[in-house]
Structures are given as structure tokens and as C-alpha cells.
Chains A and B, each alone.
Chain A
Amino acid sequence: MSAALAFNRLLQALLTLLAVSFLVYILIGLMPGDPIDLMAAGNPRFTPEDAARLRALYGLDQPLPVRYGRWLTAALQGDLGYSRLYNMPVLEVLWPRFVNTGLLLGISLIITLMLALPLGVHAARHLGSWSDRAINLFCLAGISLPHFWLGILLISLFAVTLGWLPAGASLEGDFGDDIRAMTLPVATLAVSGLAVYVRHLRAAMTDALRADHIRTARAKGCSPARTVWNHAFKNALPPVLTILMLDLGTLFSGALTVEAVFGFPGMGKLMFDAVMGNDYNLALCGFLILTFFVLLANFMADFLYAALDPRVSYGVKR
């Protein structure tokens, strides 16, 4: 990818982030409750003059663009404000939760891909066969399944009926217990994502198997396994990996649901708790951070695609 184009993409990502941050700032103002009212609530001797003084002190009497400018300057210096719910700076609350979510998503994604690869490739190799149709049907069911219900069903089977695994997933720091606690959330996420990736893989693999060089490979006597894995699979992987990178937003959404069902201490659960506990600054900053990572992944997806597939070059303009 040429430098100019990379710069262009980076600029776009930054503009989007700026737009989202402005949106977030506006939304903070639209959330229930008013900080000054909250301070006044516990104090019977609070006069309207005091309120006006406090408003001036915190700069709340300034016009919106000025306030946003101040907030943005502070945010860029890493000061995202304070969390009312946890009595800590927002970033300190967010970081450990973000790591947990990353772990949850990472592990389940690896499992998803390990299951999706054979299924997708098999379906593409045997288009129209009964196994292909069965896989298709499974995929259609998979994308129609509410993830949180799957989580609840797994709890009811493995925690309530069989008693093998804990129903909640709070991490206590004990390695063995944490693994047991994470099993059900990871399984829920892995199965939920499976259908989507099998579909993408099947489509990409079908395209790859239609290419001329596959026919050449077959004609020169290449074994079927070698043709599929060495010649076709290599070409099917870049689009799927790119979709994966572009899908980070969806992955975060899935993680949020599963974290809420199992009480897993990740970003999603945190944002949910923050919204329920009226800690809107925390929720919105969480959203801003998630958006930042989504945009970063989108930006990197372009590079990844060009790196994996040498035929793609964004730089050439005719």
C-alpha cells in the first residue's frame, strides 16, 4: 500500500474517531440526571446562586464547542474523567476489564476458527452434497440463534443439571477455577461465531477452487489434499482474515451479551453495569475505547489484505 493511501485511510479513521467522540460528548449531556443537581440533592442549604457558581467553576456555563474542546484536550492527555461507580479514574477501571474481554474474545475466536476451517472447506469441496446442505442448514440456524439464550441453555445443562461447571464467571485469580469459570462463556461465544465464519470460508473457498490454477494443479497430477490446502486455501484465507478484522465491532457486541449472561468481568459487563448504575461517563468512555480499537482493526485490515495477497495493490492509479 502506498504511503499516500495509508495516510488517507489514517486521516479517515481519525476523522471518524473525532466524530464519534463528539457524539459521545453530546450523549453525556443527554443522559439522565444533572451533575449539579446531584451535588445539590444531599444538601438542604444549597441555593440557586451556589448552583450558578458551581456551573461557572466547572465551566458548564460555556457554549458547547468550548466545553467539547476542553474535554477533548483533557481526553487526549489521557484524562477521561472519573468513574462515580468505582471512585477511580476511568482509564484505571477500563484497562483490566479490557484485558479480560481480549482474553475471552481471543480464546473463543481461536476455537471458532479451528472448528470453522474444516467445516467451511469441506462444504466448499462438496458443493451441493448432503453434508454441504447440512452445514448450510446449521449455519442458518446458527445465525438465527440468540447468543444469550445459548448461554442460558448451557448454564442450565452444565451448571444446573450436571453441576460440572460454575454458572457465573467471576475471575478470582486462581488459575484452575478461572479456567473452569471461563469454559461456558468461551463455549457460548465460540459456537455463536461459528456459523458466520463457516459461511465466509465456504464462499471464499468456493471462489478459490474455481480458479484456473486449481485446474492446472489437478491436471499435472497434484493430490487432492495438496490442491485444496496448498493451492486453494492460501487464496481463501486473506478475505476471511480481513472480514475477521472488520468484524471486531460485532465481536464486541457478542462479548457484551455473553459477559452480561455470565457476569464475566469484561468491558461489556462493565459498560452494562455503568449504564445501570448511572455512571454514564464510564459507559461512554468505554464505548469510545471500543470504537478506537474497531477503527484500528479496520485500518489494519487494509494492510493485512495487501500483505497476504500480493495481487492486491491499492497504490496503483490508472
Chain B
Amino acid sequence: MSRYLPLGFLLALLAVCFSAGAIENALSLAGNEADLGSRFLSPSSTHFLGTDELGRDVFIRLLYGGQVSLLVAIIAGLVAAFIGTTLGMAAGYAGGRWDALLMRFTDMLISLPALPLLIILSALDIGKLGLGDFANAPSASLYKIIAIISLLSWTTVARLARARTLTLKEMDFVRAARALGRTGFKIVLRHIFPNLLGTIVVATALTAGNIILVESVLSFLGLGIQPPLPSWGNMLTNAQETIWEHARLTVYPGAMIFATVLAFNFLGDRLQNRLDPKSRSRI
């Protein structure tokens, strides 16, 4: 397999998904409008993948669903990377009691049954948190899912960042900086963070893949992205309801999730090998 295939696939997917509007116009289709006269059409030259239970074009909806899934993966991935890096560096550099406390907390979070916790959190009434206006916005389910997932996904990044910080902290250039009287904050920012970047990128790629899986499960269960906003997960919910008549529809959204997550995992693997050639094939 080509070296750049995973990254190329992800970039192409990103480009195609975010030009869904233009593609929709070019094909003169209306992806989100129900057309009950043309339900469950088979694939044809107008509807590449046919139509769904409301007569909407499946191909266009897959692209819009991809927008949502990728948006969640990217934003939640970046937030998780930020939280994880900050906490990991702080714990690793401060050491001692703070380190123990933060890592205990991380361990606790990792050991919790994640999905049960997520379905409970996704049922939260954010109106009760004093976000009344925000809670009523049409895309509230998108922001809510991003917030919930980022809050539970930073642990991988945090653990790896901490481990690397522990090594870096004892290196001569860091000790030299300390001897020259640099403050802890500056040392972490100027000397430790740049050396952590590779580790963080790998961990973030793997986390992003996982986020797509989590988002799709939650949306599938009806607790994530709310229809009519399409996501690969909630498209599968509808598809499962008509599985006896039109099993074909269950294939596409799942295949998209699978391919995207696989690409993120391959990317993470590849970057890992690049950064640390000694660790051929990650376990």
C-alpha cells in the first residue's frame, strides 16, 4: 500500500464532504428534502447510491453526514489534544503529589464504563446548566456531542504526553534551561512542548478515529446527532429499521465509518513508525 494512502484518503474525504453543497447543485439534487414519490430507489445515474426511506439521495446524505462526523472528530480531537497535552505536561513536569493526583484521576476516567457514561451525559438537560438559549439552537446536539466526547477522550494524549515529559525533563537541555533560571512555565512551553509534538500528533490521530466510532454509536442510538441533521450513525438507525426490505442501505454509512476510522488508525500507525523507527508496527 502506498505510504500516503491514509492521509490522501482523509484529505480527499474532507474535500468531497465539505463541497457537498456544490456537488448537490451540480447534480441538481436536494439531499435533505423528502420526496415520498421516489422512496427506496435503486442506484442509478441520477442517484448514485439510490434513495432512502424518505426519498432522499443517499450519496448526498453520506457527504453531509461526513461533514458532521469529520467536524466532530476534528474539533473534539483538537480539544481533547489540548486538554490532554496541558494536563500531561503539567503532571509530568510538576511531578510528586500533583502528578500522582492527576494520573489517579486519569486512571479513574479510563476505567469507567465509557459508553454507559456517555449515554447518560448525552441525556443531560443543558438548559439546567444555565445555557437556556444555547440549548434551543438547532445545532445544539452537535455542540453537545463535541463537548461530551472531548471531555472523555483526552486521556490517551495525557498519558503519552506525561510519559514523554518525564523523559524530557531529565535531559541536559532542559536542565540547562532550569540552571539558567527559566521559569517552569517557559521551560514547558519552549523546551518540552516542541519535543512533544510528534507524540501528540500520533495520539491525536488515534483519538480522532476513536471519536468517530463513539460519535457514530451515540448517533446510532439516537443520543448523538439528531435528525434531520444527517450523520453516518443516525443514517444507520433508519437503515436498520428497514433492514428486512432494503438491507442495502445498511452497508454505505457503516462502510464510510469503517474506512475513515481505519484511515485514522493507519495514519497514527505510520506516524508512529516515522517518529520512532525502532517500534516497527505498534502494539
Residues on A facing B (Cβ under 8 Å): 12, 16, 19-20, 27, 29-33, 136, 140-141, 143-149, 152-153, 155-156, 160-161, 167, 199-200, 202-203, 206, 246, 248-250, 252-254, 256-257, 260-261, 268, 271-272, 275-276, 280, 283-284, 286-287, 290-291, 294-295, 298
Contacts and interface: CB of A to CB of B under 8 A. Distances in A.
Nearest to A204: B283
Contacts of A200: 283
A291 B281 contact: no
11 contacts: A20-B112, A140-B265, A143-B265, A144-B264, A146-B213, A146-B217, A160-B243, A160-B244, A252-B116, A268-B116, A271-B116
A284 B254 CA distance: 30
A32 B115 contact: no
Contacts of A298: 111
B240 A275 contact: no
B222 A253 contact: no
A249 B114 CA distance: 7
A294 B111 contact: yes
B217 A287 contact: no
Interface stretch (B33-41, B173-181, B255-263): B255-263
Interface stretch (B53-61, B80-88, B118-126, B163-171): B118-126
A275 B223 CA distance: 9
Interface of B: 104, 108, 110-117, 119-125, 127-129, 209, 213, 216-217, 220-223, 236, 239-240, 243-244, 247, 250-251, 253-254, 257-258, 261-262, 264-266, 269, 281, 283
Contacts of B266: 140
Nearest to B248: A156
A275 B123 contact: yes
B283 A199 contact: yes
B123 A31 contact: yes
B128 A30 contact: yes
Nearest to A155: B243
B124 A27 contact: yes
A250 B213 CA distance: 13
B247 A140 contact: no
Contacts of B283: 199-200, 202-203, 206
A152 B243 contact: yes
A50 B108 CA distance: 43
A270 to B, nearest CB: 10
Nearest to A295: B111
A295 B123 CA distance: 24
A152 B235 CA distance: 13
Most buried by B among A16, A149, A254, A298: A149
Given A146-B258, A152-B236, A256 B112 contact: no
Contacts of B127: 32
B236 A287 contact: no
Nearest to B213: A146
Contact of B250 (A153, A260, A272): A153
A32 B236 contact: no
Contact of A290 (B110, B113, B121): B113
A180 B131 CA distance: 48
Q: Which 4 A-B pairs have the closest CB atoms?
A: A149-B254, A253-B115, A203-B283, A32-B125
B235 to A, nearest CB: 11
Most buried by B among A20, A141, A146, A160: A146
Contacts of A272: 119, 221
